[in-house]
Amino acid sequence: MAGTLYVVATPIGNLGDLSPRAAQILTGVAAIAAEDTRHTAALLRHLGAGAEMVSVHAHASARAFERVLHLLEAGRDVALVTDAGTPAVSDPGATLVALARARGATVVTVPGPSAVPAALAVSGLPADRYVFLGFLPRKGGERRRLLDVVRLSEWTVVLFEAPTRAAALLADLAEVCGGDRPAAVARELTKVFEETRSGTLAELAGYYAEAPARGEFTIVVAGTGRPPPVERGPDPAERARALLAAGFSRKDVADQVARETGVSRNTAYRLVTDL
Protein backbone atom coordinates (compact mmCIF):
# COMPACT_ATOMS: atom_id res chain seq x y z
CA MET A 1 0.00 0.00 0.00
CA ALA A 2 1.25 3.48 -0.84
CA GLY A 3 -1.06 5.27 1.59
CA THR A 4 -0.34 5.84 5.28
CA LEU A 5 -2.73 5.37 8.18
CA TYR A 6 -2.02 8.06 10.77
CA VAL A 7 -3.23 7.27 14.30
CA VAL A 8 -3.88 10.80 15.57
CA ALA A 9 -4.45 11.74 19.20
CA THR A 10 -7.05 14.49 19.65
CA PRO A 11 -7.78 16.73 22.66
CA ILE A 12 -9.62 15.20 25.63
CA GLY A 13 -11.17 18.60 26.32
CA ASN A 14 -9.07 21.66 25.62
CA LEU A 15 -8.63 22.25 21.88
CA GLY A 16 -5.35 23.99 22.65
CA ASP A 17 -3.84 20.57 23.35
CA LEU A 18 -4.02 19.56 19.69
CA SER A 19 -0.43 19.40 18.50
CA PRO A 20 0.68 21.34 15.40
CA ARG A 21 1.64 18.05 13.77
CA ALA A 22 -1.81 16.58 14.44
CA ALA A 23 -3.43 19.67 12.94
CA GLN A 24 -1.21 19.39 9.87
CA ILE A 25 -2.14 15.73 9.38
CA LEU A 26 -5.88 16.27 9.85
CA THR A 27 -5.92 19.10 7.29
CA GLY A 28 -3.82 17.20 4.79
CA VAL A 29 -5.19 13.64 4.63
CA ALA A 30 -7.70 12.42 2.07
CA ALA A 31 -10.05 10.94 4.66
CA ILE A 32 -10.59 10.64 8.37
CA ALA A 33 -11.78 7.42 10.01
CA ALA A 34 -13.70 8.60 13.07
CA GLU A 35 -15.33 6.84 16.00
CA ASP A 36 -18.16 9.41 15.86
CA THR A 37 -18.28 11.61 12.77
CA ARG A 38 -20.57 14.14 14.46
CA HIS A 39 -18.07 14.64 17.28
CA THR A 40 -15.10 14.84 14.93
CA ALA A 41 -16.90 17.30 12.66
CA ALA A 42 -16.63 19.98 15.37
CA LEU A 43 -12.86 19.50 15.52
CA LEU A 44 -12.54 19.66 11.75
CA ARG A 45 -14.57 22.86 11.63
CA HIS A 46 -12.20 24.34 14.20
CA LEU A 47 -9.28 23.44 11.91
CA GLY A 48 -11.00 24.40 8.67
CA ALA A 49 -10.46 20.86 7.38
CA GLY A 50 -12.79 19.34 4.81
CA ALA A 51 -11.62 15.75 4.45
CA GLU A 52 -14.07 12.92 3.80
CA MET A 53 -15.12 11.16 7.01
CA VAL A 54 -15.74 7.44 7.39
CA SER A 55 -17.57 6.20 10.48
CA VAL A 56 -15.53 3.45 12.13
CA HIS A 57 -17.25 2.74 15.44
CA ALA A 58 -17.61 -0.34 17.63
CA HIS A 59 -20.36 -1.80 15.44
CA ALA A 60 -19.13 -0.60 12.06
CA SER A 61 -19.78 -2.83 9.08
CA ALA A 62 -17.07 -4.53 7.08
CA ARG A 63 -17.90 -2.08 4.29
CA ALA A 64 -16.69 0.85 6.43
CA PHE A 65 -13.33 -0.80 7.05
CA GLU A 66 -13.03 -1.76 3.37
CA ARG A 67 -13.64 1.86 2.39
CA VAL A 68 -10.64 2.94 4.44
CA LEU A 69 -8.48 0.08 3.16
CA HIS A 70 -9.46 0.91 -0.42
CA LEU A 71 -8.29 4.51 0.08
CA LEU A 72 -4.97 3.29 1.47
CA GLU A 73 -4.55 0.85 -1.43
CA ALA A 74 -5.17 3.75 -3.81
CA GLY A 75 -2.27 5.64 -2.23
CA ARG A 76 -4.39 8.04 -0.18
CA ASP A 77 -3.47 8.93 3.39
CA VAL A 78 -6.05 8.42 6.14
CA ALA A 79 -6.17 9.68 9.73
CA LEU A 80 -7.74 7.56 12.47
CA VAL A 81 -9.24 9.52 15.37
CA THR A 82 -11.39 8.72 18.36
CA ASP A 83 -13.84 11.04 20.12
CA ALA A 84 -11.06 12.22 22.44
CA GLY A 85 -7.55 11.15 23.29
CA THR A 86 -5.47 8.48 21.63
CA PRO A 87 -7.16 6.01 19.23
CA ALA A 88 -7.01 2.24 19.76
CA VAL A 89 -6.57 2.57 23.55
CA SER A 90 -10.18 2.30 24.72
CA ASP A 91 -12.15 2.36 21.48
CA PRO A 92 -12.61 0.24 18.32
CA GLY A 93 -9.63 1.75 16.49
CA ALA A 94 -7.43 -1.30 17.07
CA THR A 95 -9.48 -3.27 14.54
CA LEU A 96 -8.69 -0.84 11.73
CA VAL A 97 -5.01 -0.70 12.69
CA ALA A 98 -4.77 -4.49 12.60
CA LEU A 99 -6.54 -4.70 9.21
CA ALA A 100 -4.33 -2.00 7.72
CA ARG A 101 -1.18 -3.74 8.93
CA ALA A 102 -2.42 -7.07 7.55
CA ARG A 103 -2.83 -5.43 4.14
CA GLY A 104 0.70 -4.04 4.29
CA ALA A 105 -0.15 -0.40 5.00
CA THR A 106 2.23 1.90 6.82
CA VAL A 107 0.82 2.87 10.23
CA VAL A 108 2.24 5.98 11.90
CA THR A 109 1.42 7.35 15.34
CA VAL A 110 0.81 11.05 15.97
CA PRO A 111 0.89 11.00 19.78
CA GLY A 112 -0.80 13.43 22.10
CA PRO A 113 -3.46 13.66 24.79
CA SER A 114 -4.67 10.62 26.74
CA ALA A 115 -6.74 10.61 29.92
CA VAL A 116 -4.75 7.70 31.35
CA PRO A 117 -1.33 9.38 31.87
CA ALA A 118 -3.05 12.71 32.53
CA ALA A 119 -5.00 11.25 35.46
CA LEU A 120 -2.00 9.30 36.75
CA ALA A 121 0.12 12.45 36.74
CA VAL A 122 -2.28 14.35 39.04
CA SER A 123 -3.41 11.43 41.19
CA GLY A 124 -0.46 11.39 43.55
CA LEU A 125 -0.32 7.61 43.26
CA PRO A 126 2.64 5.58 41.92
CA ALA A 127 2.72 5.53 38.13
CA ASP A 128 5.99 3.80 37.32
CA ARG A 129 3.92 0.66 36.70
CA TYR A 130 0.16 0.54 36.26
CA VAL A 131 -2.70 -1.56 34.91
CA PHE A 132 -5.33 -0.03 32.60
CA LEU A 133 -8.73 -1.76 32.56
CA GLY A 134 -10.82 0.83 30.69
CA PHE A 135 -14.59 0.59 31.16
CA LEU A 136 -15.73 -2.36 33.26
CA PRO A 137 -18.86 -4.32 32.24
CA ARG A 138 -21.95 -2.94 33.96
CA LYS A 139 -22.78 -6.22 35.71
CA GLY A 140 -22.24 -9.96 35.72
CA GLY A 141 -19.37 -12.34 36.26
CA GLU A 142 -16.89 -10.43 34.10
CA ARG A 143 -17.41 -7.29 36.19
CA ARG A 144 -16.81 -9.27 39.39
CA ARG A 145 -13.68 -10.86 37.88
CA LEU A 146 -12.21 -7.49 36.90
CA LEU A 147 -13.06 -5.96 40.27
CA ASP A 148 -11.04 -8.80 41.74
CA VAL A 149 -8.16 -7.91 39.41
CA VAL A 150 -8.21 -4.42 40.94
CA ARG A 151 -8.29 -5.87 44.44
CA LEU A 152 -5.25 -8.07 43.87
CA SER A 153 -3.20 -5.78 41.62
CA GLU A 154 0.29 -5.06 42.88
CA TRP A 155 0.29 -1.86 40.84
CA THR A 156 -1.91 1.20 40.43
CA VAL A 157 -5.04 0.53 38.37
CA VAL A 158 -6.74 3.03 36.03
CA LEU A 159 -10.39 2.72 35.00
CA PHE A 160 -12.84 4.78 32.94
CA GLU A 161 -16.48 5.28 33.88
CA ALA A 162 -19.49 7.30 32.73
CA PRO A 163 -20.74 9.95 35.18
CA THR A 164 -24.07 8.23 35.84
CA ARG A 165 -22.31 5.03 36.95
CA ALA A 166 -19.22 6.44 38.69
CA ALA A 167 -20.65 6.41 42.23
CA ALA A 168 -21.77 2.79 41.84
CA LEU A 169 -18.34 1.73 40.58
CA LEU A 170 -16.61 3.50 43.45
CA ALA A 171 -18.96 1.75 45.91
CA ASP A 172 -18.20 -1.63 44.33
CA LEU A 173 -14.46 -0.93 44.45
CA ALA A 174 -14.72 0.05 48.13
CA GLU A 175 -16.58 -3.16 48.92
CA VAL A 176 -14.15 -5.41 47.05
CA CYS A 177 -10.84 -3.68 47.74
CA GLY A 178 -11.62 -2.31 51.19
CA GLY A 179 -12.88 1.17 51.92
CA ASP A 180 -9.48 2.37 53.09
CA ARG A 181 -7.70 1.74 49.75
CA PRO A 182 -6.22 5.06 48.48
CA ALA A 183 -7.65 6.31 45.19
CA ALA A 184 -8.21 9.41 43.07
CA VAL A 185 -10.91 10.58 40.69
CA ALA A 186 -10.02 12.85 37.76
CA ARG A 187 -13.00 14.43 36.04
CA GLU A 188 -13.38 16.86 33.12
CA LEU A 189 -9.62 16.77 32.51
CA THR A 190 -8.28 19.85 30.66
CA LYS A 191 -11.76 21.45 30.65
CA VAL A 192 -13.07 24.50 32.51
CA PHE A 193 -14.44 22.48 35.44
CA GLU A 194 -11.51 20.07 35.76
CA GLU A 195 -11.50 18.34 39.13
CA THR A 196 -9.17 15.84 40.74
CA ARG A 197 -10.20 14.50 44.14
CA SER A 198 -8.16 12.04 46.18
CA GLY A 199 -8.95 10.04 49.30
CA THR A 200 -9.98 6.53 50.21
CA LEU A 201 -12.40 4.55 48.09
CA ALA A 202 -15.01 4.84 50.85
CA GLU A 203 -14.62 8.63 50.99
CA LEU A 204 -14.81 9.02 47.21
CA ALA A 205 -17.80 6.68 46.91
CA GLY A 206 -19.65 8.65 49.57
CA TYR A 207 -18.78 12.01 48.04
CA TYR A 208 -19.96 11.20 44.52
CA ALA A 209 -23.08 9.44 45.82
CA GLU A 210 -24.06 12.73 47.46
CA ALA A 211 -22.73 15.04 44.75
CA PRO A 212 -23.21 13.47 41.30
CA ALA A 213 -21.01 15.16 38.70
CA ARG A 214 -20.82 15.45 34.94
CA GLY A 215 -18.00 14.51 32.62
CA GLU A 216 -16.16 11.29 31.97
CA PHE A 217 -14.49 9.87 35.06
CA THR A 218 -10.97 8.48 35.22
CA ILE A 219 -10.58 6.51 38.45
CA VAL A 220 -7.12 5.68 39.77
CA VAL A 221 -6.82 3.02 42.50
CA ALA A 222 -3.67 2.32 44.47
CA GLY A 223 -2.16 -1.13 44.16
CA THR A 224 -1.42 -3.44 47.06
CA GLY A 225 2.35 -3.01 46.69
CA ARG A 226 2.89 -6.76 46.78
CA PRO A 227 2.51 -9.56 44.22
CA PRO A 228 -0.87 -11.33 44.20
CA PRO A 229 -0.94 -14.70 45.92
CA VAL A 230 -0.13 -17.64 43.68
CA GLU A 231 -3.04 -20.04 43.29
CA ARG A 232 -1.72 -23.56 43.68
CA GLY A 233 -3.46 -26.50 42.11
CA PRO A 234 -3.86 -29.88 43.76
CA ASP A 235 -0.69 -31.70 44.79
CA PRO A 236 0.05 -34.30 42.05
CA ALA A 237 1.16 -37.01 44.49
CA GLU A 238 -1.83 -36.55 46.79
CA ARG A 239 -4.24 -36.54 43.85
CA ALA A 240 -2.63 -39.68 42.39
CA ARG A 241 -2.91 -41.52 45.72
CA ALA A 242 -6.59 -40.63 46.00
CA LEU A 243 -7.37 -41.81 42.47
CA LEU A 244 -5.43 -45.06 42.91
CA ALA A 245 -7.25 -45.71 46.18
CA ALA A 246 -10.52 -45.19 44.32
CA GLY A 247 -9.61 -48.06 41.98
CA PHE A 248 -8.65 -46.23 38.79
CA SER A 249 -5.99 -47.74 36.53
CA ARG A 250 -2.50 -46.26 36.46
CA LYS A 251 -3.06 -44.99 32.93
CA ASP A 252 -6.31 -43.23 33.86
CA VAL A 253 -4.76 -41.79 37.01
CA ALA A 254 -1.80 -40.40 35.03
CA ASP A 255 -4.14 -38.80 32.50
CA GLN A 256 -6.31 -37.26 35.22
CA VAL A 257 -3.37 -35.95 37.27
CA ALA A 258 -1.84 -34.36 34.16
CA ARG A 259 -5.11 -32.59 33.33
CA GLU A 260 -5.77 -31.36 36.87
CA THR A 261 -2.28 -30.27 37.93
CA GLY A 262 -0.61 -29.20 34.71
CA VAL A 263 2.33 -31.61 34.93
CA SER A 264 3.26 -33.49 31.78
CA ARG A 265 1.70 -36.91 31.18
CA ASN A 266 5.14 -38.57 31.33
CA THR A 267 5.84 -36.97 34.71
CA ALA A 268 2.40 -38.02 35.96
CA TYR A 269 2.91 -41.60 34.80
CA ARG A 270 6.32 -41.84 36.49
CA LEU A 271 4.76 -40.48 39.68
CA VAL A 272 1.95 -43.07 39.54
CA THR A 273 4.42 -45.87 38.87
CA ASP A 274 6.58 -44.85 41.86
CA LEU A 275 3.51 -44.82 44.09
Domain harbouring 87, CATH code: 3.40.1010.10
Together in a domain, 42 and 56:
yes
pLDDT tens-digit readout, 211-266: 988 888 999 999 999 988 776 677 888 888 888 888 888 888 888 888 888 788 88
For residue 193, the Cα-to-chain-centroid distance in whole angstroms is 25
**Residue 143 pLDDT more than 90?**
yes
pLDDT tens digits, one per residue of 99-108: 999 999 999 9
State the residue range of the domain holding 243: 236-274
The verdict on residue 203 lying in a domain is yes
Per the prediction, the chain carries an average pLDDT of 92
Final residue in a domain of this structure, among 56, 84, 113: 113
- In a domain, residue 227? The reply is no
Neighbouring residues of 73: CB distance < 8 A, sequence distance ≥ 6: 1, 2, 3, 103
Spatial neighbors of 177 by CB under 8 A, at least 6 apart, are 147, 150, 151, 201, 221
The Cα 60–Cα 67 span in angstroms is 11
pLDDT of residue 6: 98
- Assigned domain for 44 exists: yes
Residue 154 within any structural domain of the chain: yes
Range scoring the smallest mean pLDDT among 143-152, 197-206, 208-217: 208-217
Rounded to two decimals, the pTM is 0.81
For residue 226, tell me if it sits in a domain. Answer: no
| Number of domain units in the chain | 3
Whether residue 99 is found in the same domain as residue 153: no
Task: Give the CATH number of the domain where residue 163 resides.
Answer: 3.30.950.10
Residues 172, 210, single domain; the answer is yes
Q: How far apart are alpha carbons 145 and 4 in whole angstroms?
A: 39
Strands 217-221 and 182-187: antiparallel
Residue 229 lies in a domain: no
Percentage of the chain lying above the pLDDT 90 cut: 73
Q: Is residue 186 part of a domain?
A: yes
| Domain stop point among 113, 137, 167 | 113
